[in-house]
Amino acid sequence: MGSSRLPKLLDGTRLALIRHGAYHQLDNTPSALQPFPLSDEGQNHARQGARELAQGLQTLGWKETPQLHSSVLLRAWQTAEIYAQTLGLSVPPEQSPALCERSVGSAANLSIKAIEALLADDPRYLPPPRDWKSRSDYRLPLPGAESLDEAGARVAQYILSQCAANGERKPVQLFVGHGAAFRHAARDLGILETAEIPGLSMHHGRGLLFEYRDKSWTLLSGAWKTRRTEARD
């Protein structure tokens, strides 16, 4: 899928995209940079997802020790810590802001209503489109804001930097982050097509395990979640 966008990777490159577990999220507020921890349910999501991934690695016969990466947001780091414990990893997750969710800039942690009111009160800005929160190419006209496309490109660049082999295949790389940014990164990596993004989400705490071979990706473990309504990523 998306062969024209596929990066130059070695056959056998392996990675997992893992969405954080459910957390104490503010209602009707873009997830973006919310700093809150996993809920009890979210911790259970992470434990279950880690057990499923461990089983998937075992079934595939992959004996290599995974390398774990995490967004710096608390919910992602906590999810990564649970994965590290479950998988028996002795090295802590490598944290990076490059894996964070799409930023809404100076509107971080404001409600959707408050963001729209802010734009309405500022004569420099036009009203945002109705679907601004889920529209891939829209960026709030605020300092530090990103579009989902830009967030996906940032995440994809980080993933590629960690999978770069320099002629030698690296161990499976596990990335713990955020649903919307991951879906758009998957498009840039050649895992998804643009038209597939709106209809898909990711299950909380659970991973998607991929292998790159013959210029394409194969999903070996896990499943995308079908989006029936706008998901809170």
Query: Quick one: average pLDDT of 174-190?
Result: 97
Lowest average pLDDT, out of 78-82, 137-141, 203-207, 212-216, goes to: 212-216
Question: What is the widest separation between alpha-carbon atoms in the chain?
Answer: 60
- Paired sense of beta strands 216-221 and 173-177, if any: unpaired
The DSSP annotation for the chain comes to: --GGG-----TTEEEEEEEPPPB-PPTTS--TT--PPBPHHHHHHHHHHHHHHHHHHHHHT--SPPEEEEESSHHHHHHHHHHHHHHT-SSPPEEEGGGSPPPBGGGTT--HHHHHHHHHH-TT-PPPPTTTTT-TT---SSTTB--HHHHHHHHHHHHHHHH--TTSPPPPEEEEE-HHHHHHHHHHHTSS-GGGGGGEE--TT-EEEEEEETTEEEEEE--PEEPSS----
Among 85, 89, 77, residue whose Cα is nearest residue 35: 77
Residues with Cβ within 8 Å of 17's Cβ and at least 6 positions away in sequence, in order, are 175, 177, 182, 185, 186, 202, 207, 208, 210
Is the pLDDT at 7 greater than 70? The verdict is: no
pLDDT value of residue 170 = 87
Is the pLDDT at 51 greater than 60? The verdict is: yes
CA 1, chain centre distance (Å):
19
pLDDT value of residue 172 = 96
pLDDT value of residue 232 = 45
pLDDT value of residue 230 = 47
Query: Quick one: average pLDDT of 13-36?
Result: 96
Residues with Cβ within 8 Å of 161's Cβ and at least 6 positions away in sequence, in order, are none
pLDDT band at 164 (very low <50, low <70, confident <90, very high): confident
31 within 8 A of 202, measured Cβ to Cβ: no
Q: Kindly report whether the global pTM for this prediction surpasses the value 0.85.
A: yes
Ordered structural domains, the chain, with CATH? 3-104+147-226 (3.40.50.1240)
- Average pLDDT taken over every residue of the chain: 93
Distances (CA, A) of 129 to 39, 101, 116: 32, 20, 10
Q: How far apart are alpha carbons 100 and 109 in whole angstroms?
A: 14
Query: Quick one: average pLDDT of 200-212?
Result: 97
Query: Quick one: average pLDDT of 132-149?
Result: 97
